[in-house]
Structure 1
Amino acid sequence: MKFRLLLLTMLFTAFGNALLAETPPYINTKNGVIVFTDPLFTGNPYAVKLEVVADNIIRVTVAPGKEIANTQSLVTVYSKNIDVFWDVIPSEESLTLKTKSLKAVVNLKTGAVTFKDSSDKKILNEKPIGGRSFQSAIFDGRRYYNLTQSFQITPGEALYGLGQHQDGMMNYRGQQVSFFQNNTEVAIPFLISSNNYGILWDNYSLTKAGDVRPLHPLSDMQLFSKNGETGWLTASYANNRQQPQHIVTERAETGIDMEFLGDSKIQLPAAFNPATGIVTWQGSLASYISGLHQLKFVFGGSLKVWLDGNLVLDHWRKAWNPAPALLPLSMTSGKKVPVRIEWIPEGGESYLALKWQEPLSPEEQDLFSFSSEAGQQVDYYFIYGGNMDEVVSGYRLLTGKAPIVPKWALGFWQSRERYKTQDEILSTVQEFRKRQIPIDNIVLDWSYWKEAEWGSQEFDAARFPSPDSMINMLHHKYNTQIMISVWPKFYEGIAAYNLFNKNGWLYKKNIADRQRDWIGKGYISTFYDAFDENARKGFWDLINKKIYSKGIDAWWMDASEPDILSNVSAEKRKLQMTPTALGSAAEYLNAYPLQNAKGIYEGQRSANPDKRVFLLTRSGFAGSQRYAAAIWSGDIGSTWTDMKNQVAAGINFSLSGLPYWTMDIGGFVVPEKFEKPRAESLEEWRELSTRWSQFGAFVPLFRSHGQFPYREVFNTAPEGHPAYKSFLYYDRLRYRLLPYIYSLAGAAYHHNYTIMRGLAMDFAADTAVLNIGDQYMFGPSLLINPVYQYKATSRQLYLPKATGWYDFYTGKYFEGGRQINADAPYEKMPVMIKEGSIIPVGPALQYSNEKPADTITLFVYTGTDAAFNLYEDEGVNYNYEKGAFSNIVFTYAEAAKELTISKREGYFNGMLAKRNFRIIWINKDRPKELDADQKADATVSYTGEKITVKMK
């Protein structure tokens, strides 16, 4: 017996030694280390690879086996840095990869990674047990994994970024964010924390971030009818909205699930007419779980929700373009909450869905996860910084710099859906010039082609008889640029379709389905495969020959999700796109807008290397900024709620690492009351347009667009109306601020700066700012506070602490660290200027290059030291990439009461040899508005040499 035990022991020892010999606990690589986990803890020996990218960036790749796949990322473009010093420090239980500023500690048994700073303070860690999972999945006959990676976050930590979403949420802690490109929803898999780190999740498939638990259908909650019966809500259907008591059908319902195209036709009762009707659900909700529940709606039409007798949601969205709405609901175990849901669907395809999420457990409240549908391995980058700007800089090191936009793009753009003729384009610009309303860009939206020839890129000669001369006139008579809409869409049978089809460059499922669009009689169409390099070149060749050769200045890339068919599920979208040139659509789903932009950017830079590319696209992905892509927030609604939601959407988008964002000022789709408004509705429309324009003047790109009513200010209101006067004031102000704004664009390229800044970027130590989603910094100095309530004449706003603040319009000083009730008269939005700011203001302009800024007024807001870098270059080309630019640094020393204008560094063609700087001092005892036409306190002539000016 003892012999048998000894033999077994020897065998087990030999077997164990063989395993150890076969799989050592770790191996060093050229750029880091690979750790192999203990299969007793992970089931299989996972390979955990740490790659040093920079002192503050470590890539983590984990495979469910011993081999790390050598994948080619669509997102990252960084070069291997051979100068980074790093070291591997093993111990009995863990292995530490150490750089100058960061440590990654891997548990040798579980493979869980902990990130620490150089002083050994923990920054973030993967959940130690059960924080990573691989579940087998198959798409298009190929094996993938559903991947999940969870992190433990710290109490009080706020989480931002993740793209652009329309739920009004600022801090995503405890929330669920879906990555599925859609009209108004933009997926950017980059998270940034108030604790100064970021995670770039390198996966393109359908993904959830944050609280990744599956949402529950309504039926999973305890339901009670309006009469108290258990198990359902009472649904009442009426065909006359004015007489909702005349019910045609009443029935017990346990679910509301009409989220996607076609669902409502199956689920609505045959007796109900959605074009004229109204639906009401009544009863009560209850849960045996106490805590904060989340109700998540998707809806088109009008939706009202009452909880416990209180109206908590009243929102509208055009029926064809559904919107999300999020309602938090605190529930006590077993206690009923009366509910009433009232829905007016507006006919045709109808959309309404309600799902919910149960409360987070204490442990779950400190988790943040990424969960992707399809991948071969977990792949993410951890970025650490001394502040959030350094984290964003790390993101751009990985994914590419943001080229500087042409200077004209920072002026005002006018657009509408749509200018139908050449004469409408020219007469609109002519009217702007006649009225002396500054403008730089006019936009030609879709359908400039013949109705049946979408994708031809041919102008309809009946409406645009001479596009070449139209463009020439815009350029030379009116000093205006033109942007044009291009879709990746082709109608079956046209010449371009036949060419792309012959080359195998098209997605064919929509063609096989014989799916018709909404134009005229309806036409069968599809999109090209932007993952195919040759197809991208083919698309550029088409638009180059048909459009760019005529002198077009910029591209409006619509429906770039790709929106082959609107309002479909992710499953339907994947079927429409499969296969892509790179593989299954399940794997590459969200990266389409990145590749679409790549083709046009590379095409234009190849065809015309001296002219800056500018793309405005309805969707984007991590890395889109390197292709000169700006993103707009899609076909949002013209409501006060939608306007408010744009503030948080724009801030979080900017925190996602992409610096250029814009929106349809005024909203795209309008409620019926604004289409042909009566007197009261007309005044509300004018006020909404005014407040939105005030906000829009302080986002990276200043752009008006939308459906009827026409969006030109002279069509919104007569010249003497407050709406007209307000727009003119902010439009002119935008142009006078171009030296400030263009310097921010220069910083976005040269220093990876963020233009539209969440308050946590500049005031991270002030915890009061972490959840503020309706205020932001525009550059280093301007605190922007949009007004988004009808008939408001003031608004509550928070002034961050650790600095003082000056009122933009009066110069009045306020201490920081407090709430104030700021004046907000019809014509003005509250704007505050940070103490210790220098703001350069240029001459009055009608367009961005009308005249050089030979006189600049410097507004110096004293009280503490200040600095600003005036950046200039040629404004239209890429010579700045070769060093053709200049910097003039202004510094103010509070102790000495002196402003120093530095020696100019750099040179570019057309640089001013001489200019004047007018200086205006503002302090607590000397309040002044920001008005460049007032008398200066001092004027100096500057020829490029250092000057010091003493405050008197």
Structure 2
Amino acid sequence: MKIFSSLICFSLFTSAIFAQTVTRSDRGFTLDNGDIHTRVQFLTDDIVRVEKSPTGEYNQPPSVVVTLVHEKVRTAFSEKGNDIVLSSSSIKVTVDKSTGKVSFDDAKGNPLLNEKDFGFKLRTSGADKGAYEVRQTFTLDNDEAIYGLGILQENKLSKRGTSRQMIQANTEDYVPMVQSVKGWGLYWDNLSPTDFADNTDGMTFRSEVGEAIDYYFMHGGSVDGVNARMRELSGTVPMLPKWTFGFWQSKERYKSFNEVQEVVDTYRRLGIPLDCIVQDWQYWGPHYLWNAMEFLTADFANPQENIDRLHDKNTKLLITIWSSFGPMTKQYREMEPKGMLFDIQTWPQSGLTDFWPPRTDYPSGVKPYDVYNPEARDIYWKNLTRLYDLGVDAWWMDSTEPDHIEFSDKDLELRTAMGSWRKVRNAFPLMAVEGVYDHHRAHAANHPDTVTARKRVAIMTRCAFAGQQRTGANTWSGDVGSSWESLRNQIPAGLNFSMTGNPNFNSDIGGFFAGAYNKGYLDDSGCRNPLYQELYVRWMQFGLFNPIMRSHGTEVSREIYKYGTEGDPVYDALLKAIKMRYTLIPYIYSTAWDVTANNGSYMRALVSDFKDDRNTWNISDQFMFGKSLMAAPIVKAQYTPEKTVAVDPMSGWDRKEGGDDDSFKIDPWDEIKSTEVYLPEGADWYDYRTGKKFDGGQTVTLETTLDYIPLFVKAGSIIPVGETMQYVDEKPADNLDIRIYPGADAEFTLYEDEGDSYNYEKGIYSTIKFHWDDKRHRLTISKREGEYPGMLNTRRFNIILIDGDTTEAKPHTLTYDGQALKLSI
């Protein structure tokens, strides 16, 4: 970690020594005070940019993250003694003339955030000679909770006390953005490796390369408000195809098209819902052909025929592509002479596929490409069209951090199209993913008559950076280990990622590296190991409440039929979770529209909706899924002992880890257990399973079983529930249950469209608004707004009022033809 010398980090200079010059501009002002140069500019009423330059020049290149074109903002300017004050209708910014320190208040004068000190250190050697290391420290209230930073593998929600060297990695994705329970957010606009620390000295961002300190302060008033400001700053979220909200089956890896077809056939034969099958690496052949973006082995012959067969079974294909290429690929041979490849140690290390550990005496020669280079991104897409033209439905962009083995500081000296790699290191995933998203959309627009052109871009990626939400890409948490500790980490990881403005998160259901669980109990299959079975069930139940529900991992098979047959408790619990997912599709897809249209989120930390209840500020094992459902997945072993597994995400696991100890105790799967759930104050709550009503502001103890998924509904909610399906839209949504949970007024907008086109951007969709008047016990269904091809003109709604006890309510069935209706219950 770099240390900033107090002799170099000029933070305190007095106006008695240096002349002070304040220059107004149409959006703000600049303060020049000797060696202190501060520029403040409002982009909107709620977003202000602060820059501090050691030279008085503000010549940073255009931000690759910030897309907002500034508005004309009405501001009030004044100089009061030693203070410069600039205010919008939302934020008051005060700058101390003598020190350059900035403080932020809301419009009512309530303190939000203060700078403590800042500093610059001149870089005197290397590729970035003449630039600076930059540091900014802020003062937080003692009890102030902060959130964000991206995907971190730690089991806590608030990031107070967290320290990280933020450089993109396999299982931790960094976004230099935080937000506070006080309703402010801060995006630190720097692409280089950055140290973040919150300790007794304050909250500090320290970046290795910068021409200036550059950050954006946002006032949103709430988690949703700050997320909205971050998306306004860096891009809103497009809708993913509707099928992506179904179940995805994956593993490392299917070794032939025959195996892929067999898995899909088995799912369909057994009636297990499925929307997507995932093809992991090596469909291209040996490592020397790494990421050729072609099916080049006999086991993957006739790709068009096989992809068509999958589509005939109403199954989509997601295929892995990487940010690197083997030396025999067409991409490598075109990019290498143009200097578009990085000479670093990356995965795979060996060109031989059948040795573990890798035979490094036969190096693979694989190199990542310069994602910062527009021409290189053009070449990448040109080669990717081979898969696009076959009708592949979605891109799994693996290693977008990228994999970096035997990291050395020297590697950061490499030149990219945007300067040294050190200068732009953390933006690698943004540039890689946006390159595919932008090219895909442009290609489709230029070839409108193809089937693929009518599909929305669907990307899953292993790494992310600020602004990446504008591609709609769903980031998974990397190659995490299979352990209860790891499962617990995924909840705060996803919630904090969502609080950087990026709502799309998932994890490998079951964990990627099975480690010590890769051992059978009665046979050699980890699928029959009760320790792993319980973990897999609970991870599946957590995955039900992720934007994408995807099973994946290595060594131990993940197909649920490998875990038993109908009547076996483990199999039944897995199947129940998947089926439940499909019944919630109307709710989930309407939430997807709320994310796009209203800057909503899928996974919502409880503080998002219950900030006044301080108990919610650091709850890391419960969350809202959409605005009405509260998930409390069981993340502690109840039937088997917990077994923590340490893995190295770069090199895998020790295959001797399994051991021979079978002395652990297993409780019968049908035994009743218990779990505790906190019900936030500010609402009453209904158990989704029983309909029983509970007061908020208390912890309740629930009886649980292996197949029980603790789920509560906030009083004052309307939940549309559909039928179980084998794939999304297998059946028309002409018979929806509309469940009303009284106790407060409620609203819900049912959103529907074609499911897989960008016509929604042209207004081609429909919405039906439901309103519950709790005092009058009256439901109003609005006139349908909008239309789209294939829309249901007439349908049934089964209105179910949940009465708060365990009796089953009798539905009121209505025929709805698009006109307004009212029903008193």
Tell me the TM-score normalized by structure 2. 0.89
2:274–2:315 CA contact under 8 A, matched in 1? yes
Deviations 1:647-687 (A, max 9, x none): 11111111121111001000100123424444697112211
1:139–1:586 CA contact under 8 A, matched in 2? no
Q: Residue 215 of structure 1 corresponds to which residue in structure 2? A: none
Shift of 1:798: 0.9
- Judged with a 3 Å threshold, the aligned counterparts in structure 2 of structure 1 residues 897 and 427 are, in CA distance, closer, same or farther, namely same
**Paired residue type of 1:178:** Q
Q: Residue 555 of structure 1 corresponds to which residue in structure 2? A: 395
- Aligned counterparts of 1:386 and 1:590: Cα–Cα separation in 2: 29
- Name which of 470, 473, 493 aligns with 2:306: 470
2:60–2:212 CA contact under 8 A, matched in 1? no
Q: Residue 105 of structure 1 corresponds to which residue in structure 2? A: 94
Question: Which stretch shifts more, 373-382 or 169-178?
Answer: 169-178
Task: Say which SS state the counterpart of residue 899 (structure 1) adopts.
Answer: strand
Q: What's the C-alpha RMSD, in Å, of the aligned pairs? A: 2.0
**Paired residue type of 1:102:** I
Q: Residue 809 of structure 1 corresponds to which residue in structure 2? A: 689
Deviations 1:411-452 (A, max 9, x none): 000001000001001110011111111110000001111113
- Judged with a 3 Å threshold, the aligned counterparts in structure 2 of structure 1 residues 772 and 939 are, in CA distance, closer, same or farther, namely same
2:366 aligned with 1:525:
yes
- Aligned counterparts of 1:480 and 1:472: Cα–Cα separation in 2: 10
**Paired residue type of 1:555:** W
**Paired residue type of 2:378:** K
2:5 aligned with 1:125:
no
Deviations 1:47-84 (A, max 9, x none): 211111111111111111222224210111111213x3
Shift of 1:789: 1.9
Question: Which stretch shifts more, 918-927 or 502-511?
Answer: 502-511
**Paired residue type of 2:821:** I
- Name which of 238, 248, 268 aligns with 1:433: 268
Task: Say which SS state the counterpart of residue 455 (structure 1) adopts.
Answer: coil
Q: Residue 537 of structure 1 corresponds to which residue in structure 2? A: 378
Task: Say which SS state the counterpart of residue 143 (structure 1) adopts.
Answer: coil
**Paired residue type of 1:945:** Q
**Paired residue type of 1:50:** V
Q: Residue 815 of structure 2 corresponds to which residue in structure 1? A: 941
- Name which of 428, 434, 448 aligns with 1:592: 428
2:37 aligned with 1:157:
no
Shift of 1:719: 2.5
- Judged with a 3 Å threshold, the aligned counterparts in structure 2 of structure 1 residues 611 and 800 are, in CA distance, closer, same or farther, namely same
Q: Residue 574 of structure 1 corresponds to which residue in structure 2? A: 412
Shift of 1:160: 0.7
Equivalences for residues 364-375 of structure 1 within 5 A: 364=201, 367-375=202-210
- Aligned counterparts of 1:514 and 1:940: Cα–Cα separation in 2: 59
- Judged with a 3 Å threshold, the aligned counterparts in structure 2 of structure 1 residues 18 and 675 are, in CA distance, closer, same or farther, namely closer
Question: Which stretch shifts more, 63-72 or 757-766?
Answer: 63-72
Shift of 1:906: 2.1
- Name which of 101, 112, 121 aligns with 1:135: 121
Task: Say which SS state the counterpart of residue 43 (structure 2) adopts.
Answer: strand
2:796–2:815 CA contact under 8 A, matched in 1? yes
2:256–2:300 CA contact under 8 A, matched in 1? yes
2:146–2:180 CA contact under 8 A, matched in 1? yes
Deviations 1:607-654 (A, max 9, x none): 113321111000010011112211001111111111111111111111
Q: Residue 824 of structure 1 corresponds to which residue in structure 2? A: 704
1:616–1:629 CA contact under 8 A, matched in 2? yes
Q: Residue 28 of structure 2 corresponds to which residue in structure 1? A: 32
- Aligned counterparts of 1:611 and 1:406: Cα–Cα separation in 2: 8
- Aligned counterparts of 1:720 and 1:840: Cα–Cα separation in 2: 29
Q: Residue 410 of structure 1 corresponds to which residue in structure 2? A: 245
- Aligned counterparts of 1:659 and 1:949: Cα–Cα separation in 2: 35
Shift of 1:879: 1.2
Tell me the TM-score normalized by structure 1. 0.77
- Judged with a 3 Å threshold, the aligned counterparts in structure 2 of structure 1 residues 426 and 148 are, in CA distance, closer, same or farther, namely same
Q: Residue 654 of structure 1 corresponds to which residue in structure 2? A: 498
- Judged with a 3 Å threshold, the aligned counterparts in structure 2 of structure 1 residues 805 and 157 are, in CA distance, closer, same or farther, namely same
Q: Residue 174 of structure 1 corresponds to which residue in structure 2? A: 161
- Name which of 477, 496, 511 aligns with 2:331: 496
- Aligned counterparts of 1:72 and 1:651: Cα–Cα separation in 2: 30
Deviations 1:307-341 (A, max 9, x none): xxxxxxxxxxxxxxxxxxxxxxxxxxxxxxxxxxx
Shift of 1:811: 0.9
Task: Say which SS state the counterpart of residue 206 (structure 2) adopts.
Answer: strand
2:36 aligned with 1:192:
no
Deviations 1:512-557 (A, max 9, x none): x99646734541211110000000010011111x211111000001
1:180–1:570 CA contact under 8 A, matched in 2? no
Shift of 1:570: 6.0
- Judged with a 3 Å threshold, the aligned counterparts in structure 2 of structure 1 residues 447 and 675 are, in CA distance, closer, same or farther, namely farther
**Paired residue type of 1:620:** A
Task: Say which SS state the counterpart of residue 559 (structure 1) adopts.
Answer: coil
- Judged with a 3 Å threshold, the aligned counterparts in structure 2 of structure 1 residues 673 and 481 are, in CA distance, closer, same or farther, namely closer
1:686–1:717 CA contact under 8 A, matched in 2? no
- Aligned counterparts of 2:411 and 2:250: Cα–Cα separation in 1: 30
2:541 aligned with 1:700:
no
Shift of 1:17: 12
- Judged with a 3 Å threshold, the aligned counterparts in structure 2 of structure 1 residues 18 and 689 are, in CA distance, closer, same or farther, namely closer
Shift of 1:573: 4.7
- Aligned counterparts of 2:431 and 2:99: Cα–Cα separation in 1: 37
- Judged with a 3 Å threshold, the aligned counterparts in structure 2 of structure 1 residues 156 and 774 are, in CA distance, closer, same or farther, namely same
- Name which of 314, 318, 330 aligns with 1:479: 314
- Judged with a 3 Å threshold, the aligned counterparts in structure 2 of structure 1 residues 176 and 570 are, in CA distance, closer, same or farther, namely farther
Q: Residue 725 of structure 1 corresponds to which residue in structure 2? A: 572
Task: Say which SS state the counterpart of residue 849 (structure 1) adopts.
Answer: coil
Shift of 1:927: 4.8
Task: Say which SS state the counterpart of residue 400 (structure 2) adopts.
Answer: coil
- Aligned counterparts of 2:716 and 2:519: Cα–Cα separation in 1: 46
Q: Residue 59 of structure 1 corresponds to which residue in structure 2? A: 49
- Aligned counterparts of 2:284 and 2:590: Cα–Cα separation in 1: 39
Structure 1 segments, 4+ long, off by >6 Å, are 16-19
Equivalences for residues 321-470 of structure 1 within 5 A: 361=200, 364=201, 367-451=202-286, 452-470=288-306
- Judged with a 3 Å threshold, the aligned counterparts in structure 2 of structure 1 residues 434 and 506 are, in CA distance, closer, same or farther, namely same
Deviations 1:99-132 (A, max 9, x none): 11111111111111111111111111111xxx11
- Judged with a 3 Å threshold, the aligned counterparts in structure 2 of structure 1 residues 796 and 523 are, in CA distance, closer, same or farther, namely same
- Aligned counterparts of 2:182 and 2:348: Cα–Cα separation in 1: 51
Task: Say which SS state the counterpart of residue 389 (structure 2) adopts.
Answer: helix
Shift of 1:510: 4.9
- Name which of 888, 898, 901 aligns with 2:781: 901
- Aligned counterparts of 1:493 and 1:855: Cα–Cα separation in 2: 55
**Paired residue type of 2:106:** D
Q: Residue 797 of structure 1 corresponds to which residue in structure 2? A: 677
- Name which of 184, 187, 193 aligns with 1:206: 193
- Judged with a 3 Å threshold, the aligned counterparts in structure 2 of structure 1 residues 482 and 151 are, in CA distance, closer, same or farther, namely same
Gaps in structure 1 of 5+ consecutive residues: 1-15, 212-359, 929-934
Q: Number of matched residues? A: 758
Deviations 1:674-721 (A, max 9, x none): 244446971122111111111111111100000122100001223221
Q: Residue 772 of structure 1 corresponds to which residue in structure 2? A: 619
2:588 aligned with 1:601:
no
2:788 aligned with 1:950:
no
1:206–1:570 CA contact under 8 A, matched in 2? no
1:203–1:379 CA contact under 8 A, matched in 2? yes
- Aligned counterparts of 2:785 and 2:219: Cα–Cα separation in 1: 31
- Aligned counterparts of 1:834 and 1:749: Cα–Cα separation in 2: 23
- Aligned counterparts of 1:742 and 1:547: Cα–Cα separation in 2: 28
Larger Rg: 1
- Aligned counterparts of 1:30 and 1:530: Cα–Cα separation in 2: 36
Shift of 1:926: 6.4
Q: Residue 469 of structure 2 corresponds to which residue in structure 1? A: 625
**Paired residue type of 1:76:** V
- Judged with a 3 Å threshold, the aligned counterparts in structure 2 of structure 1 residues 651 and 19 are, in CA distance, closer, same or farther, namely closer
- Aligned counterparts of 1:69 and 1:710: Cα–Cα separation in 2: 54
